[in-house]
Amino acid sequence: MVIDLNNTKVGEIVAASPGTATVFRKLNIDYCCGGKISLAEACRGAGADPDQVMAELLWANEGTHIKFDQFEPDFLMDYIVNVHHRFLYDNLPEIEYYVNKVYTKHRERYDYLTELATLFVKLDAELMEHLPKEEEILFPYAKELLNARRAGVKPQAAPFGSVANPIRMMLHEHDGAGVILMRFREITQDYTVPESACNSHRVMLHKLKELDADLIQHIHLENNILFPKIEALEAETV
């Protein structure tokens, strides 16, 4: 893609070239929930040199193989559920175990653990309510829209009116998760392991960092690629 510093949005760059996510992640530039700003604005906010960033983006783009924006919507939804929802179902209970263990043993020594444990409980509970809404309500209806388009027929009316309604709710919930992840990064100094930390403390921070990266990518795929595809499908078929 051609990147125009002042007009191309950060989210669009990652949507077209997923490999560029690494560059934004390194600069702490939000490319999912906050991805609707221009590259120039994002560089200003991060105090980064736009020419340097542009060079790194072009390089990262070279290594991109998976073109998520070219996936059919049903394949993309299956991918998100099988990769990213699965990641959360598998990893959240394990991270919860480590957060509880480290909080219980070391909260007096490390002040940040109390806020971290509280925020993790909140994120965990919110995600466990969020995922079924996509799996049981929004994604099945989007598949129905797709099947109707393929068959050349009108789809069933959705119980929730326009897809814009559940999508608005999902975007709002993604923003909530994004705020918690940002706070995780702040209070852990980007998941830096304290020198005196025990192994459980180390594992907890490592797993939280993995959770952060996976969730950011997951939200990016939904906000910047899947949801616009679903809205376009509705516009074509209803």
Q: Residues interacting with Fe ion, by CB under 5 A? A: 134, 222
Measured from the CB atom, the residue of 12 and 222 that comes closer to Fe ion is 222
Q: Please, what is the minimum distance in Å from the beta carbon of residue 120 to Fe ion?
A: 18
Q: Please, what is the minimum distance in Å from the beta carbon of residue 121 to Fe ion?
A: 19
Measured from the CB atom, the residue of 127 and 145 that comes closer to Fe ion is 127
Q: Please, what is the minimum distance in Å from the beta carbon of residue 14 to Fe ion?
A: 16
The token pair that represents 51 in the structure block:
């020419």
Q: Please, what is the minimum distance in Å from the beta carbon of residue 141 to Fe ion?
A: 15
Rounding to the nearest 10 degrees, give the CA dihedral for residues 51, 42, 27, 121.
-170
Measured from the CB atom, the residue of 98 and 184 that comes closer to Fe ion is 184
Q: Please, what is the minimum distance in Å from the beta carbon of residue 150 to Fe ion?
A: 24
CA 186 – CA 166 distance, rounded (Å): 31
Measured from the CB atom, the residue of 138 and 146 that comes closer to Fe ion is 138
Q: Please, what is the minimum distance in Å from the beta carbon of residue 103 to Fe ion?
A: 27
Half-sphere exposure of 2 (CA within 13 A, CB side): 2
Measured from the CB atom, the residue of 56 and 126 that comes closer to Fe ion is 126
Measured from the CB atom, the residue of 69 and 222 that comes closer to Fe ion is 222
